[in-house]
Amino acid sequence: LLKTGSHLLLLFQPVEEAPTLRDRDCQNVTVLLKALQKTILFEKEMTAWLQRDYKTIFSEQSSRKQTKSQHDDDDDNNEDDDEDELLEFDDTGKAVVATSAEGIRIKYERKMKERKKKQLSTEQQDAFSIRQQQADESHPVPTLIGLASKIFDKHMGPYIAQEEQYMDEQLQETVADATVDTRGDLPVFTSSTNLFVYIKNSITRCTSLTRGQTFFHLYQA
């Protein structure tokens, strides 16, 4: 992710410094936000995958350990099917008399496959126990969230400019609209309610992506 972040940084380089590396869409707000969303999603997916498959403990992860108990309701005696089984089915789905030579061969192969599956399941559970024990003994590692996505924070100028433009338009509409809502205890300008809703949505849009420098610049706007 650090290397990915360094590659992303090259795409934001000024034309004078890296004319062949700078991405022509780095000032496009739609492309910029989409790239940031995908980067954050990738960081979260990697974090979830490492936690799930390798029991990795991250520094921001809760110290409380969540243990999952697996209940196996399968009875070992169910491994052998009824000997009076009338039919067996080959790989093509064709029915074969179970007591025939072909039926006995198919039944034997089926039994072997089932045992291999059970053995593999047992090995997977053992491997899971080993990984869990190793995770218990390991130390927390730094979080992956933000390793690559933080690169965007210093290059979100187009997004801030767009939000500022939309805010100016919203303010102009608010000033021009003198409609009063008298249904409540006190009269309220309808446009003022719409303005506060817009501000709240603007904050939500920003904080869902970043709470760093970009959020501060949005506050200044």
pTM attached to this predicted model: 0.56
The residue extents of the domains of the chain are 1-61+140-149, 76-137, 156-221
- Residue bearing tokens 């608010």: 174
Q: Looking at residues 148-174, what average pLDDT do you find?
A: 92
Query: Which sign, positive or negative, has the C-alpha torsion 104, 108, 113, 115?
Result: positive
For the purposes of burial, counting CB atoms within 10 Å of the CB of 213, is it exposed (0-12), middle (13-18) or buried (19 or more)?
A: middle
Band (pLDDT 50/70/90 cuts) for residue 132 is low
Query: Over the stretch 38-80, which tens digit does the pLDDT of each residue have?
Result: 999 988 888 888 887 777 888 765 433 443 334 444 444 444 4
Output the average pLDDT for the chain.
77
Strands (E), the chain: 87-89, 95-97, 180-181, 188-189
Q: Is the pLDDT of residue 24 over 90?
A: no
Instruction: Tell me the backbone φ, ψ of residue 145, rounded to 5 degrees.
Output: -65, 120
29, pLDDT greater than 90: yes
Whether 134 has a pLDDT exceeding 80, the answer reads no
